[in-house]
Amino acid sequence: MKFKLSEIEIRVLRLVCQKEWSAGALAWRLGVKRSFLSRVLKDLNEKGLVLTEKQGVRKTVRLSIAGHAQTFKILSDSRPGSNIEGFLSGFALSVLVSAIGDAHQIISHHQGSMLGVLGFGKEEGTSMEVLLKEAGCSKTTLYKVLRRLEGAGLIQKKNNSIIVSDSLVYSFAISYADNIQLLIQQKLEGVENASVRVRKHAIVRTTAGKVPEFFSETGVSALAKKGLEATLTSFRDYYFNLDEKKEELTIEDFFAHALLLAKLKQQDLLVLELFFAKNEGRFNIQRLKKIAEEYGVAQEFDETRRKVAFYDKMKLELR
């Protein structure tokens, strides 16, 4: 699982944060067999956290220059005596990413380069209901992880929500998720791919003609097939989650995702209001309201409903 780090993986990371190692010296320092270390290094390499290089018969290991690896170094260096292995291992990283409600934008061109990252829409934590649904572990495991993170002073409970209160751990979780998202977007062959992510959920607007199997059409693209009056371009909107699990989406999901992109792009709001006015009866309003809250677009949805109600009232008064 991409969002799980084992204790041995974190121990390796902490050592390579200090200096470059030969694989043999690193295995000796950790007290493990070379074959076991090779598997650990393979996993860390796939997660973009370390780089390995063969120099003749000697294999060297060093920390990746990727943002999430460098953010981990800052975290590790700041707490030389703390038990990072204990509180970040297992499902902890998955829980932390699921607990961060900010929306983040990543833009990349067809070669996969990151052109910009933007955070906006900070929420007051994430509800326990959402964590249970998205963290990827059982209820029992989730509560164990939360107790461990709270005991380490990394999270706080506010009403029925969880807030990541440690700024360095927050930065590492965000940069780790950004890296996973970017690696997925690099699979797209569009001229430009712009996406916004909330927790593990990403909505991408892309010119790519072919997308991974776990992508689902959504947003304006999907709503157009439901009667949205909009001029479609070469761009298409897709949903994907960072766990790469295929999701079956509903019209409520389409609309919430379209609102999120409209908030990001500052466009499409008028056509979405017109679509909602004509199709309000097709929506499960309570479900749509709940999804809008989870994606940080509750205010935009309330404004859409307010405008539609105002237009309806004006029509009645003019009759």
Q: How many CB atoms lie within 10 A of CB 164?
A: 23
User: Which secondary structure element, helix H or strand E, spans residue 60, and what is its range?
Assistant: strand 58-63
User: Which secondary structure element, helix H or strand E, spans residue 316, and what is its range?
Assistant: helix 298-318
24-53: average pLDDT? 94
Rounded to whole angstroms, how far apart are CA atoms 110 and 151? Answer: 44
Domain ranges of the chain: 7-76
Residue 295 near residue 101 (C-beta atoms within 8 A): no
Rounded to whole angstroms, how far apart are CA atoms 241 and 239? Answer: 7
- Which pTM was predicted? 0.86
Res 160 pLDDT > 80? yes
pLDDT for 228 equals: 76
Residue 98 near residue 141 (C-beta atoms within 8 A): no
26-47: average pLDDT? 95
Q: How many CB atoms lie within 10 A of CB 226?
A: 12
Edge-to-edge order in the sheet of strand 161-164: 126-127, 161-164, 155-158
Beta bridge partners of 197: 104, 202
Which range (111-125, 245-259, 278-292) has the least confidence? 111-125
pLDDT for 313 equals: 59
With helix as H, strand as E and coil as C, how does 273-293 read?
HHHHHHHHHHCCHHHHHHHHH
Residue 271 near residue 240 (C-beta atoms within 8 A): no
pLDDT for 5 equals: 95
Res 227 pLDDT > 90? no
Mean pLDDT of the chain: 86
Residue 32 near residue 106 (C-beta atoms within 8 A): no
Structure tokens at 26: 């690193």
Rounded to whole angstroms, how far apart are CA atoms 317 and 276? Answer: 21
* Total number of residues shown for the chain: 319
Rounded to whole angstroms, how far apart are CA atoms 198 and 130? Answer: 12
285-312: average pLDDT? 88
- Band (pLDDT 50/70/90 cuts) for residue 113 is very low
264-283: average pLDDT? 84
21-42: average pLDDT? 95
User: If you classify domain 7-76 with CATH, what class do you get?
Assistant: mainly alpha
**Residue predicted with more confidence, 228 or 94:** 94
C-alpha of 253 from chain center: 17
User: Which secondary structure element, helix H or strand E, spans residue 132, and what is its range?
Assistant: helix 128-134
Q: How many CB atoms lie within 10 A of CB 150?
A: 15
**Residue predicted with more confidence, 270 or 78:** 78
Rounded to whole angstroms, how far apart are CA atoms 235 and 204? Answer: 10
Long-range contacts of range 313-316, CB-CB < 8 Å, 24 or more positions apart? none
- Band (pLDDT 50/70/90 cuts) for residue 124 is low
pLDDT for 118 equals: 47
